[in-house]
Amino acid sequence: MSNIKIFITGADGYTCQIPRIKEGMLALGHNLSSDSPDIIYANDPSGYDEAVLLKKKFPSSYLILNFLDIPWHIKNIQKQTEKLVKYYFSVADSVSTISFKVKKDLTKFYDKKIYVIYNPIKDVYLDNKIKKNNTFFYVGRVFDPVKRFSLVKETLTKIKDGENNIKICGLKNPNFGEYLGIIRDDELNRLYNSSKYVLLPSSAEGLGLTMIEGMVCGSIPITCSDNLTAKEFSPADFICEPNSQSMVNKIEQLDRNYEEYRKKILDLGQKYKIQFDKKNIAKNIIEVFNSRS
């Protein structure tokens, strides 16, 4: 079907996914509209209420509710997830998640078909003209305990000049390394390309787009073994145990044959650049719609 009308809702800001999903839909020639849309797509629970209300207004619209993650560390998360399933998924035409790890988690609460629709990466790309003049790069919420930024600090204090060789971007200043705040996509692309390593020591991730974006730009992601999503996308070569000494050992190991390991990352990055492109994510949403019986 050409010229599909789709309404997209959820967290919609500069650092969120919806702007890129919308751009992908427009690039494919589809229309964004809340007036009798063919598809209603809620990318996260913050958009579920609006999506369900629109579905009631236009019952023939196809409602897809996307699910980001089950943060198991949060108190009463099981009850919260059960409520989402009961009050929202029961009226959805389809339910999707952003990784197979999240899909597996959700099957504990929802026994119907679950699709996997990845979130899109930012418009980053490999630029071989950019020199590797930075060692470490971190992108994310430094004060979220699940992100374990404390592990970054512990690791880099064991490495000579470690604190002086990390650039950090995100909403809050960790008072460690070189903090850059929220940066433009072109600057983000430059930093991914110029950094040897992207550090993502999180204990859990719904997807972990910084890991994917780093690989696209030829920067090696270092993740931890208890982050099951990392195992879905990253080779074991770049996964260490969740402690600072293991991270130090991993960095030393990679440094000894950096270009050889980077080649492996570049091969994966070429694949992920296509797989996580915003137009292909938009196509994945359309494919769920087209699979309706």
Write the pLDDT tens digit of every residue in 14-39: 778 899 999 999 999 999 999 999 99
The pLDDT of residue 132: 94
- Whether residue 143 is found in the same domain as residue 259: yes
- Whether residue 144 is found in the same domain as residue 222: yes
Residue 128 lies in a domain: no
pLDDT (mean) for 130-151? 94
pLDDT over 60 (residue 1): no
* pLDDT tens column, 155-206: 999 999 999 999 999 989 999 999 999 999 999 999 999 999 999 999 989 9
- Whether residue 282 is found in the same domain as residue 232: no
Cβ distance 53 to 34 under 8 Å?
A: no
Residue 235 lies in a domain: yes
Token reading at 211 = 């890991």
* pLDDT tens column, 195-238: 999 999 999 899 999 999 999 999 999 999 999 999 999 999 99
The pLDDT of residue 152: 97
Residue 127 lies in a domain: no
Residue 215 lies in a domain: yes
Residue 184 lies in a domain: yes
Choice between 99 and 1, residue whose per-residue pLDDT is larger: 99
Residue 13 lies in a domain: yes
Q: Where are the beta strands (DSSP E) in the chain?
A: 5-9, 31-32, 39-42, 62-67, 94-97, 114-116, 134-139, 166-169, 178-181, 195-200, 220-224, 239-240
- Whether residue 104 is found in the same domain as residue 148: no
221's CB contacts (< 8 A; 6+ apart) are: 197, 198, 199, 200, 210, 211, 214, 215, 230, 234, 238, 265
The pLDDT of residue 211: 95
- Whether residue 24 is found in the same domain as residue 51: yes
CB count in 10 Å sphere of residue 222: 24
Cβ distance 203 to 219 under 8 Å?
A: no
Residue 129 lies in a domain: no
pLDDT bracket for residue 293 (50, 70, 90): low
Q: In one letter, which amino acid is 26?
A: L
211's CB contacts (< 8 A; 6+ apart) are: 198, 200, 205, 221, 223, 230, 233, 234
- Whether residue 148 is found in the same domain as residue 251: yes
Residue 25 lies in a domain: yes
- Whether residue 151 is found in the same domain as residue 27: no
Q: What is the CATH number of the domain that holds 211?
A: 3.40.50.2000
Which residue range(s) make up the domain with 204?
134-275
pLDDT (mean) for 104-120? 96
Whole-angstrom distance, CA of residue 216 vs CA of residue 266: 7
Whole-angstrom distance, CA of residue 149 vs CA of residue 142: 5
- Whether residue 114 is found in the same domain as residue 165: no
- Whether residue 102 is found in the same domain as residue 154: no
The pLDDT of residue 292: 82
- Whether residue 269 is found in the same domain as residue 281: no
Place of tokens 């099981």: 78
Whole-angstrom distance, CA of residue 288 vs CA of residue 268: 26
Cβ distance 141 to 147 under 8 Å?
A: yes
* pLDDT tens column, 239-282: 999 999 999 999 999 999 999 999 999 999 999 999 999 999 99
- Whether residue 286 is found in the same domain as residue 254: no
Domain count, the chain: 2
* pLDDT tens column, 50-104: 999 999 999 999 999 999 998 888 889 999 999 999 999 999 999 999 999 999 9
- Whether residue 186 is found in the same domain as residue 246: yes
